[in-house]
Amino acid sequence: MTELTTLIHDASEIVVGPGDDDTLERYEDAALAVVDGRVAAVGPTDEIVAEHPPENASHAIDADGRSVIPGFVDSHTHGLFAGDRSDEFAAKLRGKEYQEILAEGGGILRTVRAVREASDEQLLSNLLGHLDTMLAHGTTTVEIKSGYGLDTETELRMLDVIRRADDAHPIDVVPTFMGAHAVPEGSDAEAYTERVLDDQLPAVADQGVAEFCDVFCEEDVFSVAQSRRVLEAGVEHGLTPKVHAEEFVRLGGAQLAADLDAASADHLLHANADDRAALADAGVTPVLLPGTAFSLGADYADARAFLDEGGSVAVATDFNPNCHSQSMGFAIALACVGMEMTPAEALLAGTHGGARALDRAGEADGADGADGVGTLREGMAADVTIVDAPSHVHVPYNFGVNTVETVLKRGEPVSGMEGNHE
User: Shortest Cβ contact with ligand NIG: which residue?
Assistant: 322
As separate numbers, helices (DSSP H) first and strands (DSSP E) second, the chain gives 17, 16
Cβ neighbours for 134, distance < 8 A, ≥ 6 positions apart: 74, 79, 142, 171, 319, 326, 328
- Per the CB < 8 A criterion, the answer to whether 58 and 5 are in contact is yes
Where residue 68 falls (left for φ over 0; alpha for ψ -120 to 50; beta otherwise) is beta
Cβ-based nearer residue to ligand NIG, 88 or 388: 88
Cβ-based nearer residue to ligand NIG, 33 or 284: 284
Cβ neighbours for 379, distance < 8 A, ≥ 6 positions apart: 38, 39, 363, 364, 372
Cβ-based nearer residue to ligand NIG, 68 or 115: 115
Q: Cβ of residue 275: shortest distance to ligand NIG, in angstroms?
A: 17
Q: Cβ of residue 242: shortest distance to ligand NIG, in angstroms?
A: 11
d(CA 226, CA 418): 52
Cβ-based nearer residue to ligand NIG, 110 or 352: 110
Indicate the residue type of 174: V
Cβ-based nearer residue to ligand NIG, 108 or 370: 108
Which of 242, 108, 82, 268 lies closest to 177 in space, CA to CA?
Answer: 242
d(CA 309, CA 320): 29
Cβ-based nearer residue to ligand NIG, 157 or 244: 244
Cβ neighbours for 317, distance < 8 A, ≥ 6 positions apart: 74, 76, 77, 289, 291, 323, 325, 326, 327, 328, 330, 331
Q: Cβ of residue 358: shortest distance to ligand NIG, in angstroms?
A: 16
Q: Which helix (H) or strand (E) element contains residue 202? A: helix 201-207
Cβ neighbours for 290, distance < 8 A, ≥ 6 positions apart: 300, 301, 315, 331, 334, 335, 338, 339
* Gyration radius (Cα) of the chain, Å: 21
Q: Cβ of residue 288: shortest distance to ligand NIG, in angstroms?
A: 12
Q: Cβ of residue 218: shortest distance to ligand NIG, in angstroms?
A: 7
Cβ-based nearer residue to ligand NIG, 138 or 321: 321
Q: Cβ of residue 80: shortest distance to ligand NIG, in angstroms?
A: 11
Q: Cβ of residue 123: shortest distance to ligand NIG, in angstroms?
A: 15
Site of interaction with ligand NIG (CB under 6 A): 78, 107-108, 111, 216, 244, 247, 292, 318, 320-323
Q: Cβ of residue 89: shortest distance to ligand NIG, in angstroms?
A: 11
Cβ-based nearer residue to ligand NIG, 118 or 386: 118
